[in-house]
Chains A and B, each alone.
Chain A
């Protein structure tokens, strides 16, 4: 970190990692998001990691109830929320106890001193008050009576009782941290007005707490000076701070516009995918239909029905839901209808870790259906890229009349980053033409519609939707004769249809970009990743290069089919390392497909890789 003093007297830092932690009821996610938003508008690059407990209301003050939000703010391009925080804001003893080990040695701890009393200490499992024992002597400790000061400034506000005033204490913390890092105040004040405008006294209380926190930093002598993280030199353009689920939802709506089809979402609530259902439900003016089905199976089945009717059909879920949808996805493969299946992966198996991230559904996406049932699989690598991945999934589904699996994960879903808005005119044209006339003439010169007559290039079958005169036809899950689509139990026909379904998906390789490789193309070591590990791999690779080594990084967005040149790319390197948030699923695929001795690096702890973890593994391989 740099440590120069700017004109304002603030010390300049190149980057800062802050972790907000408190009880679930303390509003830490909101505090983190507001800090992030103000930083984004200020022009920093940033990356976030929200972490919340699975229980909606875990007992107050306990370790189980701690909710945390980590954000890295930087004056240069960054790709992760950072490893060890420099600053921890702990709103109660449980938050301190649970989070302190993550803080860098010498880091700053700011605690809400008022909560360090007997009951809360006991609930957190402290026998003695850690603020007094000296056990925090490795850190710079600031004890701030946030609750009492918040109550004090709210005393004058009409209609706000002390208990209600207490709820604004997270804005006090936000104000203090905003001063400490010289964040602009206006975005937060504007937001408070917008959010709570309907209850003016709540606006007043939050404003008062926020300003009091800010003033506390500025006027008390507790803090010697504030810090500043200058705006990052991002590419010119218009930016917004977006998380993966929002970007993905926008991508789906955009795909509806680009394809000129109605978006139909069949979905059933499940963490961490429900926010896509919520976001799409907001965009009815785009003609988007959202159907909250009675279960996961009905969610996908309704989407298959909508696809038959000519909609851009989508179903969103997480791993357990994909398991339930397997049979209906197989139906869509057999019917050769377009369908976008979105899996926001989480820790498994079974209920697993519903609020924590993992990327362990890859083999299920590839093979988790009975029979020979290939389907394309794609994976976004950053929150913003989820937008493009959704459009790409829709493009492939519509063009090839196939279900497509899009694998995001909890980390991408909830993590946010500044995202440069794409030029709308540069988005692909994915308009789809339905068949409206007979497509086959028999020997006697009679015209017919053959639902399984194919485009020779894409192998996509003809798609005629109900309502089209003269093209009435029946399709079903039973094997059918190629061309006519009539039921067929002929052995050779089944082989032929199986081959066609396989070839159709394999041929998509001709329609996707070559492998995306960054870094030193003449390195001996190649890192191969997919999905949300991109940030940690990129930042580890950068550090490896800074340490004087050569390293290359290939990141896969299309996993089925793989890019055509992937085998050749892998063969160029002596060592291939594949970090994954699972027990080695992509590694298995690469070994099976290319006979490459992939070194698999695994983590299934409900948390993304830290840069240092990868750095250490790679360094060991290099030296």
Chain B
């Protein structure tokens, strides 16, 4: 639509709408918004060709603050709405915004099907492990035993691991970042956006009102070195203040944290995001069972697979070239006809 080559460069202001953000003061959503508005000017995107689609929840207010096209739809359905838009208008940059309740609970079905179809959209899952908008019920990512208004004696549900779900749903791009590190978010969003197909980014996001500090044990500045495991493609997986820890694959094929000095660097997993087989990425996603153990962040998986709307539109082009662009009269006479005089 727009000739991006000649379009003037954009600044953060071009991506910022005239609406005042209305999240609680101190909410992690602010830093995600800023990271997005700072990242987009670096891309060859245009505001008029960019669409943010959201469901319902605190995170779902996001589109109002972006000076792009946007739709604040209904609870859970954003990936489905975005699918229709991305198929009808494959040239657009479509982003999907939602929280853990929106996308993993009421909208779980749409999320997994969007990923398996590989429809071109970038999905940002703001995971704060709580229902914020409805004032603090446990969510499908809350830890077992979570005491909330709806679980006064503690929740008894096993939570989802969003990265594991995405990998199991045949996603072609899966990454994780967190709201305390703007640079990391920008880099992760950029990578996700550049991916052709559906890309899922889980963002650990602090809800300082209903679940404050849920990720503090791993995302606080002084904890990051020892608790966040940065995945770098092609490099052995190491972490720790002095890179003293590493990740190996044990005899069962599970990922395991080891001291590099015990096993030697050669024994570590060399991260391969492009591996067709998702087993290794899945094993990495299972390293931590919650945000209180060393947790991998970065890109878990990026593989190429035909993108849905391209494939679907290809069929339309083939049909047009084989049958010619249809005329109404061709339709009406596509079954036997007879004439009455």
Please tell me which stretch of B31-39, B47-55, B194-202, B224-232 contacts chain A, meaning at least 4 of its Cβ atoms lie within 8 angstroms of it.
B47-55
Residue A240 contacts which of B69, B320, B333 (CB distance < 8 angstroms)? B333
Residue B77 contacts which of A241, A311, A328, A469 (CB distance < 8 angstroms)? A328
Residue B332 contacts which of A308, A313, A421, A486 (CB distance < 8 angstroms)? A421
Interface extent on B, as a size class? 35 or more
**Which of chain B's residues have a CB closer than 8 A to the CB of A304?**
73, 81, 84
B17 at the interface (CB under 8 A from A): yes
C-alpha gap A250/B17 in the complex (Å): 43
Q: Are A298 and B83 in contact (CB under 8 A)?
A: yes
Interface positions of B from 82 to 105, Cβ below 8 Å from A: 82-89, 91-92
A295 at the interface (CB under 8 A from B): yes
Residue A284 contacts which of B52, B69, B316 (CB distance < 8 angstroms)? B316
Interface positions of B from 274 to 326, Cβ below 8 Å from A: 312-313, 315-316, 318-320, 322-326
B258 at the interface (CB under 8 A from A): no
Q: Are A242 and B335 in contact (CB under 8 A)?
A: yes
CB of A610, distance to nearest CB on chain B (Å): 29
Known: A305-B81, A472-B68. A284 touches B319 (CB 8 A): yes
Known: A239-B339, A240-B337, A301-B80. A306 touches B85 (CB 8 A): yes
A352 at the interface (CB under 8 A from B): no
Interface size on A, residues (CB 8 A): 73
A-B contact number at CB 8 A:
217
A40 at the interface (CB under 8 A from B): yes
Residue B84 contacts which of A239, A302, A467, A477 (CB distance < 8 angstroms)? A302
Interface positions of A from 409 to 428, Cβ below 8 Å from B: 421-422, 424, 427
**Which of chain A's residues have a CB closer than 8 A to the CB of B80?**
293-294, 297-298, 301-302, 305
**Which residue of chain B lies nearest to A302 when distances are taken between CB atoms in the complex?**
B84
CB of A50, distance to nearest CB on chain B (Å): 16
Encode A443-470 as 1/0 by CB contact (under 8 A) with B.
0000000000000000000000111111
Known: A242-B335, A298-B109, A309-B92. A474 touches B71 (CB 8 A): yes
C-alpha gap A390/B327 in the complex (Å): 17
Known: A283-B331, A285-B320. A305 touches B85 (CB 8 A): yes
CB of B41, distance to nearest CB on chain A (Å): 15
Interface positions of A from 248 to 288, Cβ below 8 Å from B: 250, 253-254, 257-258, 262, 264, 266, 283-288
Q: Are A289 and B312 in contact (CB under 8 A)?
A: yes
The interface of chain A, by Cβ under 8 A from chain B, is 37, 40-41, 43, 187, 231, 234-242, 246, 250, 253-254, 257-258, 262, 264, 266, 283-289, 291, 293-295, 297-298, 301-311, 313, 327-328, 331, 335, 421-422, 424, 427, 465-478, 486-487
Pairs of residues from A and B, 5 with the lowest C-beta to C-beta distance, nearest first: A476-B72, A302-B84, A305-B84, A301-B80, A284-B319
List 28 A–B pairs whose Cβ atoms lie within 8 Å, in order of A's numbering. Answer: A236-B341, A238-B339, A262-B88, A264-B88, A284-B316, A285-B319, A285-B323, A287-B316, A288-B316, A289-B313, A291-B312, A298-B77, A301-B110, A302-B84, A305-B53, A305-B71, A305-B83, A305-B84, A313-B88, A424-B329, A466-B69, A468-B48, A469-B46, A471-B48, A474-B19, A475-B71, A476-B73, A477-B73
